[in-house]
Amino acid sequence: MRDEGRSGCPINATIEVIGDRWTLLVLRDVMFGNRRHFRELLAGSEERIASNILSDRLKRLVAAGLLSREDTRPGQKAEYRLTEPAIQLVPIMAQLGAWGLRHRPTTKRLRVRAELLEEGGPQLWAEFMDELRESHLGIPRPDPDAPTATDRLAHAYAAVAE
């Protein structure tokens, strides 16, 4: 049974699932950083998320249906994968990044992804979503020979690092 939330407002319903800082940052790191294991998420966090907070947010994201968690045997690392509802958050994440570019101080290295997503617009977002569906859900991309959005993001990062 789904939690009804505090009201029937669609914005409120969304905020109740993804409306805190750490939840959005965990989704960002799985989505754009391809971090799928607890330790990768913990070590790769620019914002230095605490392990107890990361554990809590992963549990909440799985319970909300935004991440799936592969069952593991003792000693194995659990793998987290985006679900279709999480993949459909790409345009929202792109818009959050675009807003941050315009209204908040950022660093050159960390603004590259947001700039590319803003410039690429809905076409790039759709291509990236197809790529995420392939890597997280096993659904082949419509044009497997086309350059990937991930490749374009990697090239943009490399250009900034030079």
Judge if 107 and 132 occupy the same domain: yes
**DSSP designation for 88:** T
How many Cβ atoms sit within 10 Å of the Cβ of residue 145? 5
Domain hosting residue 60, numbered range = 1-82
Judge if 111 and 77 occupy the same domain: no
What CATH number is attached to the domain comprising 63? 1.10.10.10
Judge if 98 and 145 occupy the same domain: yes
Q: What is the pLDDT of residues 19-43, one digit of tens each?
A: 999 999 999 999 999 999 999 999 9
- Rounded to the nearest integer, the mean pLDDT of the chain is 91
User: What's CA 106's distance to the chain center, in Å?
Assistant: 19
Length of the chain: 162
Q: Looking at residues 59-71, what average pLDDT do you find?
A: 95
Question: What's the start-to-end Cα distance of the chain, in Å?
Answer: 51
Confidence of residue 4 (pLDDT cuts 50, 70, 90): low
- Distance set, CA 47 to CA 25, 43, 160, 161 (Å): 9, 10, 21, 20
pLDDT of residue 147: 87
Confidence of residue 76 (pLDDT cuts 50, 70, 90): confident
Judge if 56 and 114 occupy the same domain: no
pLDDT of residue 71: 78
Judge if 98 and 75 occupy the same domain: no
Amino acid at 88: Q
Confidence of residue 162 (pLDDT cuts 50, 70, 90): low
Contact criterion met (CB below 8 Å) for 90 and 131: no
Judge if 104 and 125 occupy the same domain: yes
Judge if 104 and 146 occupy the same domain: yes
User: Which of residues 46, 64, 82 is at a domain's end?
Assistant: 82
pLDDT score of 3 more than 60: no
pLDDT score of 87 more than 80: yes
H-only helix segments in the chain: 10-18, 21-33, 38-43, 51-63, 84-87, 90-103, 108-132, 149-161
Q: What percent of the chain has pLDDT over 90?
A: 72
User: In whole angstroms, what is the distance from residue 127 CA to residue 82 CA?
Assistant: 16
pLDDT of residue 129: 97
Confidence of residue 1 (pLDDT cuts 50, 70, 90): very low
User: Which of residues 21, 50, 82 is at a domain's end?
Assistant: 82
Judge if 60 and 115 occupy the same domain: no
Judge if 69 and 1 occupy the same domain: yes
Strand stretches in the chain, DSSP E? 67-69, 80-82
Total count of domains within the chain: 2
Judge if 105 and 123 occupy the same domain: yes
Judge if 46 and 95 occupy the same domain: no
Helix axis angle for 149-161 and 108-132, nearest 10°, is 170
Q: Looking at residues 106-125, what average pLDDT do you find?
A: 92
3-state SS assignment for residue 83:
coil
User: Which of residues 82, 102, 124 is at a domain's end?
Assistant: 82
Judge if 93 and 73 occupy the same domain: no
